[in-house]
Structure formats: structure tokens, C-alpha cells
Amino acid sequence: MGPFGYIALVVLIALILILIVSNIQVVQQSRAYVVERLGAYSTTWGVGLHLKIPFIERVVKKVSLKEQVADFDPQPVITKDNVTMQIDTVIYFQITDPKLYTYGVEHPMNAIENLTATTLRNIIGDMELDQSLTSRDIINAKMRSILDEATDPWGIKVNRVELKNILPPREIQNAMEKQMKAERERRESILQAEGQKQSQILVAEGEKRSAVLRAEAEREAAILRAEAERQAKILKAQGEAEAIVQVQKALADSIELLNKANPNDQVVKIKALEAYAKAADGQATKIIIPSEIQSLAGLAASFKGLLENDNK
């Protein structure tokens, strides 16, 4: 073999190696490759190292198995009460069968977008404006169920559907804003009235409590005054009783002393005269004097006259 033969052999071997290396495919995690052989579906490569047969096999689609998000533009929809709104949706989906995704439908994302728009129009068309604005969860659940069933032959699983924005016409928005403002003002008025009511109740309860406390204080003061008056009367009565006892004791002592002195009849009569003299100093208008005392009084008057003559 000549020099040219060796060169040709080396070139051939190099070309074969380049061809083999160029047909080695490494499939990454969460991806899948759809492979055709001579124009027909052959297999789906998963994660790992794969060798493609040159000129016979080819990779027709590289599919991501991760969950994906599709944000569609706002779509015009008409409610049951003939209000046109703009609604944009967000879909979370995942490719579960790369083969069906590759051969099931042409342009899968366009198909999903159009299916989403028609489904949304059908659902909103059976609802009135107020109901559509307050039933997001119901609309999301219905759309997810319908889209998931419709995209199943395409190898796509719809996990969630969310209504991103619901935009009614400008005049409807203005009316809603006025309604919300009126509702807020009504709630504010109710809260203010409730606050004033509670304040008045608290003031009335405070005045009631104050009146009760004043009445209790006055009653306690009256009880204390009555008790003080009663104690004063008791003390006064006790003092008078003690005074009477002292007077009676003094009288008894004087009588006892007189009895011990053994007075004669004349002394007794003089004492009686003194007692009637004291009685005459009072408010009595008539005094009856016994005859014994009258004679003694006459004698005392005569004796007083004699003393006055001698002094002259």
C-alpha cells in the first residue's frame, strides 16, 4: 500500500470517528427526545447517553418535561347581561407524553390559547357581571377541568388555570367605584352611629353609677348622723340620769346627816319654810302653807321687826 493509501485510510478512520461522535446524544434531566427512523416514529429517549444511527435516525423534537406557564393576552368575553369584558388567563401545564405532544396537534400552544379563549367565553356567557366578578375560583376550576380533558390527547396535562385580570368597561368600572364609595360611606356612618351609641351608653352608665354612689354616700351619711344623734341623746340621758342620781344621793346624804344630828321640831319647820320659799320663787300662782309653818313664819317676821327697831 502506497503513501496515498495510508493517508486515505487515516482520513476515513477520522471521518468515521467524527461521524460517531457527532451522533452521540446526551439527554439531560427533565427532558425527552423524540426520535424518528426513516421518517417514522421510533422511540423516545429519556435521561442518559444515546447513540443515533447516522442518516437513518433523527431527533425530531426536544421536549421539556417541566411544568410550564403560558400567559395569554386578554380576550373579549360577553356576560349573560351583555357586558363586554377583557379577561387574560394564565395556564400552568406539563407535557406528560412527548410522542403525543409531537404528533397530536400542530402548534400546541396556539391550540391551547384558542381552546382557552373559547372555553372562557362559554363559561362567562352563562354568568352575569356580578357573578363573574365574584366567582373566580369556580371559573378557574371549570376551565381547568375542560382544558385538561381536551388536551389529554395531545400529551398535555393542565394543572391550574388562573384568571389574571378581569377588566369591565370604563363606565361599569366608574359605576362600581361609586357603588363601593357609597358602601364605604354607609359603613362609616354605621360605625360612627355605633360609636356614638356606645359612647352615650357608657356616659349613661357612668351617670347611673355616679347617682347610685351619691345615694349610697347620702344614705351612709344619714345613718352616721342618726347614729351620732342617738349616741348624743344616750350620752345626754346618761348625764341627766347621773345628775339625778347625784342629786338624790346628795339629798339622801343630807337627810342622813339631819337624822344623825337629831334635829328638833323647830329646825324641821325652818327647813320646810325654806323649801316653800324656794317653791314660791318658781312659777306657781298659789301656795298652801300649813298652820305650823304659818305661826313660825309670823314669829320670824315679829323677830325681824324687833331687830329693825333696835337698829334704828
Partners of 76 in beta bridges:
86
CA distance 58 to 39: 8
Contact (CB, 8 A) for 25 and 48:
no
Say how many Å lie between the first and final Cα of the chain, rounded: 211
CA distance 44 to 101: 12
Residue 34 confidence (pLDDT) = 92
Contact (CB, 8 A) for 124 and 132:
yes
Closest C-alpha to 96, from 63, 72, 54 = 63
Q: What are all long-range contacts of 71-75, with beta carbons under 8 Å and residues at least 24 apart?
A: 71/164, 72/113, 72/116, 72/117, 74/165, 74/167, 75/116, 75/117, 75/120, 75/121
Residue 278 confidence (pLDDT) = 56
Residue 303 confidence (pLDDT) = 45
Q: pTM for this structure?
A: 0.54
Residue 187 confidence (pLDDT) = 85
Low-confidence ranges of the chain (pLDDT < 70): 1-2, 251, 254-255, 258-259, 261-312
Residue 9 confidence (pLDDT) = 78
Instruction: Note the helical H segments in 23-107.
Output: 98-103
Residue 98 confidence (pLDDT) = 92
Q: Which residue ranges form the domains of the chain, and what is each CATH number?
A: 3-64 (no CATH), 67-168 (3.30.479.30), 263-312 (no CATH)
pLDDT tens, residue by residue, 29-53: 889 999 999 888 999 998 888 888 8
**Residue 1: how many other CB atoms lie within 10 Å:** 7
pLDDT tens, residue by residue, 216-256: 888 888 888 888 888 888 888 888 888 887 777 876 776 67
Going 277 to 283 to 285 to 286, the CA torsion angle's sign is negative
**Residue 297: how many other CB atoms lie within 10 Å:** 16
Residue 285 confidence (pLDDT) = 52
What amino acid occupies position 55? F
